[in-house]
Chain A
């Protein structure tokens, strides 16, 4: 059996993302002098640490068929409040400060969670509202002043850039390693832990999850709380990295995090996707953004448009690559039963594990079929969940 035959669709997706990332890097390497070097790695890894945490939290929420647009405001508020806290109590233990920012973020997440899960208000409405409310609370809290580096202890300011280890030209700094560790833990937890699997169940088919005895409300609530806590941690990192916190801190992060998750293959309709994918999505968006500034061909006024176009292109290329990989795998397994039962080409992957029941596509954004009727979408996601568990 070839290696590719043993991969689940989600693993294939990660592989496709890595290929797209390599293509993007290769493209910019031909356009920008002195591009591919250790410095680029250091830039991207330091910059992506914060967004990786937020995208990770966003993924948890999106998995449950919801969305959190308030993450940018939470980052801003937590960064500011944490700065105030350490300024007031300079001797506070670092871990206590981290706990403070995560609890604060979690509290904001709980507000969202209660309104979405128990008051049954659509998440997009709730978090659109709380995005404005949390931001206004920050304006009120800041009262015109800003946090700056001179108000912060040295350990905090130096933390993100501390080199933990070096591989050749590549520096692994504390901020990046922390974020990576959190992402890996979240990824493994979602794949292995029973309570975490509930997120997929609720997102795949809420009714079925309910009937299976899962408390869907509590699951959605905790998804928002966890996302808030991760975003709070990102707020802490934001404070440490930039030092200067004004009321605009974290502005626009909500859409960046959604972009990272969706580019990373997390299904915007819930039920499927990997935290590691969202992380790669964040890296990809960051690479494009950073490289565009250095690409002389594009002027400032076109940069946003080109960024959008490149993100769309990468998603499109990602789909093509994904389909190729799927077909490649299918070709190798054409003799297995069940393959003949597959529905329309392009929208499907063959069943894994020898089951003869026809399975749908893996249901992520790569498959146009996922946007079909809710019922068939749910069925697709159901199969995806099984495959994700493998």
Chain B
């Protein structure tokens, strides 16, 4: 009995030490922060900014939180330029949704050398160079499984599917598509689902719309268009609806409930998934602020509490060797039962 109590006490103490290692991110310290999205004017990035502003206010950071981004036609060069500007301004942390591939790595490394912390979110620096931590919205591997599962349920186990992605060099979309292909290959139940093509709509409505139509022309038996981008999924759904093809070819992928509600209710896009971009901005801010103020060292295994969202641990990124990530997760699958409530 005594032994048991001793063991319990040891456990409790162990628990206490672990709780001690759990860093509670505290506010009040001044740190200038920059939130740098792929480009300005897209709803999800503004939602991320709302989340970051919420965290900024909550932590009572006397410093400034700037939301700056390039214009859409100048995304890659603009991001690199803004990264360099932030470095010369000597801001404490840059929060980057990378659209420049590894091209931004030199600018990001220079920022780190100047003492600026670089936290990526939404889309990482593929090689991991120049990046402290990536705040992953969901596990990139699990996105693949969720997309494969949605395909399985929509196609009822067998049929042809094609992918309509954003740009050919978008790091996040490419990783998700790769993980979906892996998921499709790994399980017997997906054996009858055939991925026939991958096309790119450049995250522009008109290009995505025309690509979706080209897909159904090319593959008369196509049962599903999977689009892991909010612009593509909506354009594809509209194209199928306009041409009266919704009965033959369904649309799925990652979409915003407010934009997808009508297509989900009329059956063109019976199922799709997404995470909360406000939460992503909020968690990214906490992570970056913790690093910038020295409360976090950014080591693997370090745990911290990010305000209302609870506890997170810095871990190795399974998709990118040598890179570190904080995993937000999970995400929601929307269908005709829950989409209307979420669209409000």
A interface, CB within 8 angstroms of B: 32, 34, 39-40, 43, 47, 50, 132, 135-136, 138-139, 142-146, 148-150, 161, 238, 241-252, 289-290, 293-294, 300-301
Question: Does B242 interact with chain A (Cβ within 8 Å)?
Answer: yes
Q: Complex formed: what's the CA distance from A142 to B213 in Å?
A: 28
Query: A149 touching B238 by the CB < 8 A rule?
Result: yes
Q: Mark B202-231, 1 if CB is under 8 A from A, else 0.
A: 011110011101110110100000000001
What residues on A are CB-neighbors of B211 within 8 Å? 293
Q: Complex formed: what's the CA distance from A142 to B258 in Å?
A: 16
Query: B205 touching A39 by the CB < 8 A rule?
Result: no
Closest Cβ of chain B to A185, distance in Å, is 25
A-B contact pairs, 29 of them (CB 8 A): A43-B217, A47-B210, A132-B71, A135-B71, A139-B71, A142-B41, A144-B49, A145-B43, A145-B46, A146-B42, A146-B259, A242-B238, A243-B238, A244-B231, A246-B42, A246-B205, A246-B231, A247-B40, A247-B42, A248-B72, A248-B203, A248-B204, A251-B72, A290-B210, A290-B214, A293-B215, A300-B198, A300-B199, A301-B168
Closest Cβ of chain A to B248, distance in Å, is 13
What residues on A are CB-neighbors of B198 within 8 Å? 300
Considering the complex, give the chain B residue whose CB is closest to the CB of A136. B71
- The 9 A-B residue pairs with the shortest CB-CB distance, nearest first, are A144-B46, A247-B41, A293-B214, A242-B205, A139-B41, A248-B72, A294-B218, A148-B259, A244-B205
Query: A244 touching B234 by the CB < 8 A rule?
Result: yes
Closest Cβ of chain A to B210, distance in Å, is 6
* A146-B204 contact, Cβ under 8 Å, with A34-B217, A244-B259: no
Query: B214 touching A294 by the CB < 8 A rule?
Result: yes
Q: Complex formed: what's the CA distance from A142 to B72 in Å?
A: 13
Q: Complex formed: what's the CA distance from A273 to B206 in Å?
A: 28
* A150-B261 contact, Cβ under 8 Å, with A161-B242, A244-B205, A251-B73: yes
What residues on A are CB-neighbors of B231 within 8 Å? 244, 246
Q: Complex formed: what's the CA distance from A149 to B255 in Å?
A: 14
Q: Complex formed: what's the CA distance from A300 to B199 in Å?
A: 7
Tally of B interface residues using CB under 8 Å: 39
Contact of B238 (CB < 8 Å), options: A132, A138, A244, A294:
A244
Q: Complex formed: what's the CA distance from A18 to B243 in Å?
A: 28
Count the A-B residue pairs with Cβ separation under 8 angstroms: how many?
Answer: 107
What residues on A are CB-neighbors of B218 within 8 Å? 32, 293-294
What residues on B are CB-neighbors of A34 within 8 Å? 217, 220
Question: Does B235 interact with chain A (Cβ within 8 Å)?
Answer: yes
Interface of A is mostly: helix
Question: Does B45 interact with chain A (Cβ within 8 Å)?
Answer: yes
B interface, CB within 8 angstroms of A: 39-43, 45-47, 49, 71-73, 168, 198-200, 203-206, 209-211, 213-215, 217-218, 220, 231, 234-235, 238, 242-243, 258-259, 261-262
Closest Cβ of chain B to A141, distance in Å, is 9
Considering the complex, give the chain B residue whose CB is closest to the CB of A242. B205
Considering the complex, give the chain A residue whose CB is closest to the CB of B205. A242
Supply 12 further A-B pairs (C-beta < 8 A) apart from A142-B41, A243-B205, A293-B215.
Answer: A145-B43, A161-B242, A161-B243, A238-B206, A242-B209, A243-B238, A244-B205, A244-B231, A247-B39, A248-B41, A248-B203, A250-B206
Q: Complex formed: what's the CA distance from A34 to B242 in Å?
A: 21
Q: Complex formed: what's the CA distance from A161 to B73 in Å?
A: 30
Closest Cβ of chain A to B173, distance in Å, is 12
* A138-B41 contact, Cβ under 8 Å, with A34-B217, A34-B220, A161-B242: yes
Q: Complex formed: what's the CA distance from A142 to B69 in Å?
A: 15
Q: Complex formed: what's the CA distance from A243 to B72 in Å?
A: 19
* A294-B217 contact, Cβ under 8 Å, with A149-B262, A243-B238, A244-B259: yes
What residues on B are CB-neighbors of A238 within 8 Å? 206
Closest Cβ of chain A to B122, distance in Å, is 15
Q: Complex formed: what's the CA distance from A294 to B198 in Å?
A: 11
Query: A148 touching B41 by the CB < 8 A rule?
Result: no
* A39-B217 contact, Cβ under 8 Å, with A242-B238, A251-B73, A301-B168: yes
* A242-B235 contact, Cβ under 8 Å, with A43-B217, A148-B258: yes
What residues on B are CB-neighbors of A242 within 8 Å? 205-206, 209, 235, 238
Query: A40 touching B234 by the CB < 8 A rule?
Result: no
Q: Complex formed: what's the CA distance from A32 to B262 in Å?
A: 34
Query: A247 touching B72 by the CB < 8 A rule?
Result: yes
What residues on B are CB-neighbors of A150 within 8 Å? 258-259, 261-262
Considering the complex, give the chain B residue whose CB is closest to the CB of A132. B71
Query: B217 touching A40 by the CB < 8 A rule?
Result: yes
Considering the complex, give the chain B residue whose CB is closest to the CB of A76. B72
Q: Complex formed: what's the CA distance from A249 to B258 in Å?
A: 19
Q: Complex formed: what's the CA distance from A218 to B218 in Å?
A: 49
Contact of B204 (CB < 8 Å), options: A47, A142, A243, A251:
A251
Closest Cβ of chain B to A257, distance in Å, is 13
* A245-B199 contact, Cβ under 8 Å, with A148-B234, A149-B238: no
Q: Complex formed: what's the CA distance from A248 to B39 in Å?
A: 10
Q: Complex formed: what's the CA distance from A144 to B205 in Å?
A: 16
What residues on B are CB-neighbors of A138 within 8 Å? 41
Contact of B168 (CB < 8 Å), options: A43, A161, A300:
A300
Considering the complex, give the chain A residue whose CB is closest to the CB of B262. A150
What residues on B are CB-neighbors of A251 within 8 Å? 72-73, 204
Considering the complex, give the chain B residue whose CB is closest to the CB of A80. B41
Considering the complex, give the chain A residue whose CB is closest to the CB of B44. A144
Closest Cβ of chain B to A357, distance in Å, is 48
Interface centre among A43, A148, A150, A250 (most CB of B within 10 A): A148
What residues on B are CB-neighbors of A294 within 8 Å? 214, 217-218
Closest Cβ of chain B to A317, distance in Å, is 24
Closest Cβ of chain B to A369, distance in Å, is 36
Q: Complex formed: what's the CA distance from A243 to B46 in Å?
A: 20
Q: Complex formed: what's the CA distance from A34 to B218 in Å?
A: 8
Q: Complex formed: what's the CA distance from A301 to B235 in Å?
A: 22
Q: Complex formed: what's the CA distance from A366 to B277 in Å?
A: 53
Q: Complex formed: what's the CA distance from A241 to B40 in Å?
A: 24
What residues on B are CB-neighbors of A149 within 8 Å? 238, 262
Contact of B40 (CB < 8 Å), options: A50, A139, A245:
A139
Considering the complex, give the chain B residue whose CB is closest to the CB of A238. B206
Q: Complex formed: what's the CA distance from A87 to B204 in Å?
A: 22
What residues on A are CB-neighbors of B213 within 8 Å? 43
What residues on B are CB-neighbors of A161 within 8 Å? 242-243
Query: B238 touching A144 by the CB < 8 A rule?
Result: no
Q: Complex formed: what's the CA distance from A302 to B235 in Å?
A: 24
Q: Complex formed: what's the CA distance from A47 to B213 in Å?
A: 10
What residues on A are CB-neighbors of B72 within 8 Å? 135, 139, 247-248, 251
Q: Complex formed: what's the CA distance from A143 to B73 in Å?
A: 17
Q: Complex formed: what's the CA distance from A144 to B45 in Å?
A: 8
